[in-house]
Homo-oligomer: A and B are copies of this chain.
Amino acid sequence: MKGMTELLKGVLEGVVLQVIQNSEEAYGYQITSTLIELGFQDIVEGTVYTVLLRLEKKNLVTVEKRKSMVGPARKFYRLNDAGVTYLADFWQKWSFLVDQLIKIKR
Residues of A at the B interface (CB closer than 8 Å) are 1, 3-11, 15, 18-19, 22, 38-40, 89, 91, 93-94, 96-101, 103-106
Contacts and interface: CB of A to CB of B under 8 A. Distances in A.
Given A15-B101, A38-B103, 14 more contacts: A1-B96, A3-B89, A3-B93, A4-B93, A4-B97, A6-B9, A7-B93, A7-B94, A7-B97, A11-B97, A18-B105, A19-B104, A22-B104, A38-B104
Contacts of A19: 104
A11 B101 contact: yes
Nearest to A38: B103
Contacts of A98: 98
